[in-house]
């Protein structure tokens, strides 16, 4: 017998069938939906005046696609360790795959949040100053801004992997590899 946390049990990474079903459903929806929107926005949409907005939405799709990939990784790990998670938990949480999953989840979350802020700012500028086209985001300025957002996201997501913060094990705190305090345990860092 071992203590359970909010998500895992002794035998399973995801202790509830509801968790598993929702995780796989959201994973597939995120992967397929964001792929569809990305293909439409980049290749099929009629070219209009809102090229900056198209770039922002394409970047939002890419970051949300990464979240789908993260969920797929967690679902696959749950399937692999089902029935014996207690014995494999340290192997999983200390693995490169768990670290990669945590990196993708944090990168996706941060880039999505920043991109939604950029979309909101873009829509505010377009609505507030419809005739001042020189201050609207162009495709080039949107790409540069999105590049900065992705760079910030990578920096924030890579900090927990640095040797300086390695002993804190940000991505190894729980079975779903998120560096968030989602359990009742206290962790260093």
Residue 152 Cα distances to 37, 89, 110, 115, angstroms: 24, 31, 8, 11
What pLDDT is attached to residue 158?
Answer: 94
List the one residue out of 75, 87, 83, 91 whose CA is nearest residue 2: 87
What is the mean pLDDT of the segment spanning 79-94? 90
Q: Dump pLDDT digits (tens) for 175-185.
A: 898 877 655 56
Q: Dump pLDDT digits (tens) for 33-57.
A: 999 999 998 888 877 656 888 999 9
How many of the other CB atoms lie within 10 Å of CB of 49?
A: 9
CB 85 within 8 A of CB 12: yes
What pLDDT is attached to residue 185?
Answer: 60
Q: Exposure of 189 by Cβ count < 10 A (0-12 exposed, 13-18 middle, 19+ buried)?
A: exposed
SS3 29: helix
The Cα 159–Cα 180 span in angstroms is 14
How many of the other CB atoms lie within 10 Å of CB of 82?
A: 14
CB 59 within 8 A of CB 146: yes
What pLDDT is attached to residue 114?
Answer: 97
What pLDDT is attached to residue 148?
Answer: 98
Q: Dump pLDDT digits (tens) for 122-175.
A: 989 888 888 787 778 888 999 999 999 999 999 999 998 888 876 777 888 888
The Cα 70–Cα 23 span in angstroms is 10
């Amino acid at each position: 017998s071992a203590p359970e946390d909010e998500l895992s049990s002794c035998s399973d990474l995801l202790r509830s069938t509801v968790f598993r079903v929702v995780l796989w459903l959201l994973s597939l929806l995120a992967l397929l939906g964001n792929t569809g929107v990305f293909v439409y926005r980049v290749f099929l949409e009629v070219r209009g005046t809102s090229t900056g907005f198209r770039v922002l939405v394409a970047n939002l799709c890419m970051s949300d696609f990464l979240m789908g990939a993260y969920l797929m990784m967690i679902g696959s790990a749950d399937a692999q360790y089902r029935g014996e998670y207690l014995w494999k938990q340290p192997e999983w949480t200390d693995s490169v795959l768990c670290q990669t999953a945590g990196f993708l989840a944090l990168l996706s979350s941060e880039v999505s949040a920043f991109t939604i802020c950029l979309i909101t700012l873009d829509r505010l500028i377009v609505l507030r100053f419809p005739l001042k086209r020189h201050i609207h985001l162009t495709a080039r300025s949107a790409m540069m801004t999105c590049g900065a957002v992705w760079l910030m996201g990578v920096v924030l997501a890579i900090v927990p992997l640095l040797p300086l913060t390695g002993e804190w094990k940000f991505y190894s705190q729980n079975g779903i590899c998120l560096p968030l305090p989602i359990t009742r345990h206290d962790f260093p860092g």
